[in-house]
Amino acid sequence: MLKSESRGSKQQIRQLCGIRGLMVKPSGNIIEMPILTSFKEGLSVLDYFNSTHGARKGLADTALKTADAGYLTRKLCNVAMDVLITHSRNYDKLGVWKSSITENGVEVISLKDRILGRYSVESIKNPSGSGYIIKSGGLITNSIIQKLNFFGIHKVRIMSPLTSVNTNNISVKSYGVDLSTGRPIKLGTAVGIIAAQSIGEPGTQLTMRTFHIGGIANKERSFNRIVSLHSGIILFKNFKALRRKSDLYYVLSSNGYISILNIYSHIQFKYSIELGFKLFVKNKSYINKGDIIAE
């Protein structure tokens, strides 16, 4: 059930098999005494009493916040209802730069997810010879993204409604393809309403989260480990490192970064390295995808 994502979550399985853990009071404070038993083992009287806080909070939140989420959707629709696709000509020469989003050295959103189906502002030259990977005003497709990744281009300027000259009138190329059909958006489409409903819909879902989890306290763990997302040659920039025993290096500067170059000597990715990090790689050495760079 969990693997197919038809029902349940990791947190619910954890409460069934492991321990319930720390509970949250309706005020938002954490109850000091954790529940060390699972639902499978059964709860003691005190554990059961402590877990009623979370159960009550879940039911109250579901009742109250659903109305708030519906109201948010309504207000968003009121604001954005005038935003339409009105013309096919495009005057946007500014555009917005897009690249992949990473957190703690892990790629959260890829470049493909951010630029697929959008239009490029400028022509991108082919680094290996003559010609262009994509010309100005061209649609970014899967095959073009594969070429960009191959040549190590990880930043693209795309047309966007944010830099459009008109406030309510958006051009076909500024918007990109219609995500429901995969074809260029049609003239007259009410994209403002689509955007408002797209933001409002997960808002309704989020109110149900408390009810499903049952008021348990959770904190996101962050790992200060940098793992390489690409294979290539390591290049150190702007930092000093101190050598210690067993061939390990420790970073002594706070503004340095490590670049990974591809076979064309183009930078595929940059990693910021903080003071005190332990390095597992050497300058100008080769690294494989998935190898640890520092922690």
- Per residue in 199-250, pLDDT tens? 988 877 766 555 455 555 544 434 467 788 788 888 888 777 776 666 677 7
pTM of the model: 0.61
Q: In degrees, to the nearest 5, what angle opens at C-alpha 162 toward C-alphas 191 and 168?
A: 45
Q: What is the mean pLDDT of residues 178-189?
A: 91
pLDDT of residue 221: 36
Q: What is the pLDDT of residue 247?
A: 67
Confidence at residue 62, expressed as pLDDT on a 0 to 100 scale:
78
Task: Name all domains of the chain by residue range, CATH numbers in brackets.
Answer: 1-82+191-222 (1.10.132), 84-189 (no CATH), 226-294 (2.40.50.100)
Q: CA–CA separation, 290 vs 191, rounded Å?
A: 40
Three-class DSSP labels, the chain: CCCCCCCCCHHHHHHHHCCCECEECCCCCECCCCECCCCCCCCCHHHHHHHHHHHHHHHHHHHHHHHHHHHHHHHHHHHHCCCEEEECCCCCCCCEEECCEEECCEEEECHHHHHCCCEECCCEECCCCCCEEECCCCECCHHHHHHHHHCCCCCEEECCHHHCCCCCEEEHHHHCECCCCCCECCCCCCHHHHHHHHHHHHHHHHHHHHHHHCCECCCCCCCCCEECCCCEEEEEECCCEEECHHHCEEECCCCEEEEEECCCCCEEEEEEECCCCEECCCCCCEECCCCEEEC
Q: Which residue has the higher pLDDT, 280 or 239?
A: 280
Sorting pLDDT into bands at 50, 70 and 90, what band is 151?
confident
Overall average pLDDT of the 148-163 stretch: 86
Residue 118 pLDDT: 92
pLDDT for the residue 222: 41
Residue 215 pLDDT: 56
pLDDT tens for each residue of 54-71: 788 778 877 777 788 888
Residue 214 has a pLDDT of 54
Burial of 79 (0-12, 13-18, 19+ CB in 10 A): exposed
**pLDDT tens for residues 93-144?**
888 999 888 776 667 888 889 999 999 999 988 887 778 899 988 999 999 9
